[in-house]
Amino acid sequence: MHKRNRLFVSIALVYGLLGGLIAIVRLIDPSLIPGNVPRAHGHIMLLGFILMTIYGIALHVLPRFGGFPLYSEQMADWQLYLANAGLPLMIAGWLGWRDMLVMVGGALTYGAIVLFGLNMILTVRAGGRGRVIPVQ
C-alpha cells in the first residue's frame, strides 16, 4: 500500500479521535472550547475521519478493481496536501470565529475533492493508460 494512502488512513484516525474528543469536552462543559464547536466537530468527523479514510482506501483499491493504474500519483499527492491544509484552516476558522479562514480552508478542501474526483474518473473509466501488471 502506497505510503501516501497509508498516511491518509492514519491521519483519518487522528482526526477521528480528535473530533470525538472535542465533542466529549463540549458535552461535559460547553465553555471549555470556544467557537462553533458542533460545526467543527461535524466537519472533523466527516472531512477528516470519513473522507480521508475513503481517500486512502479508494486510492488503493479503485485502480485495482478498475484494472488500470492510478491516473496521476501527483494529483493524489497534491490531494493529500490540500486536504490537510484545508481542514485545519476550517477548524481554526470555526473555533476562532474567523470566516475568512473557513472560506480559504473550504476552498483548499474542495480542491482536494476535485483532484480526487478527476483522478478517479480518469482512472476507472474504460480506456485508461494500461492494465495493471497481471500476476498468474
Binding site for other proteins (CB under 8 A): 1, 6, 9-10, 13, 16-17, 20-21, 23-24, 27-28, 45, 50, 53, 57, 60-61, 64, 133, 135-136
| Smaller CB separation from other proteins, 64 or 125 | 64
Alpha helices in the chain (DSSP H): 3-28, 37-43, 51-66, 73-95, 99-124
Over the Cα atoms of the chain, what is R_g? Answer: 17
| Smaller CB separation from other proteins, 58 or 75 | 58
Q: How far is the CB of 109 from other proteins (least distance, A)?
A: 19
Please say whether the dihedral angle defined by the alpha carbons of residues 27, 110, 106 and 60, taken in this order, is positive or negative. positive
Which residue type, as a one-letter code, is found at position 113?
Answer: I
Q: How far is the CB of 20 from other proteins (least distance, A)?
A: 4
d(CA 18, CA 10): 13
| Smaller CB separation from other proteins, 100 or 135 | 135
d(CA 49, CA 107): 19
Which residue type, as a one-letter code, is found at position 18?
Answer: L
| Smaller CB separation from other proteins, 57 or 113 | 57
Q: How far is the CB of 67 from other proteins (least distance, A)?
A: 11
Q: How far is the CB of 21 from other proteins (least distance, A)?
A: 7
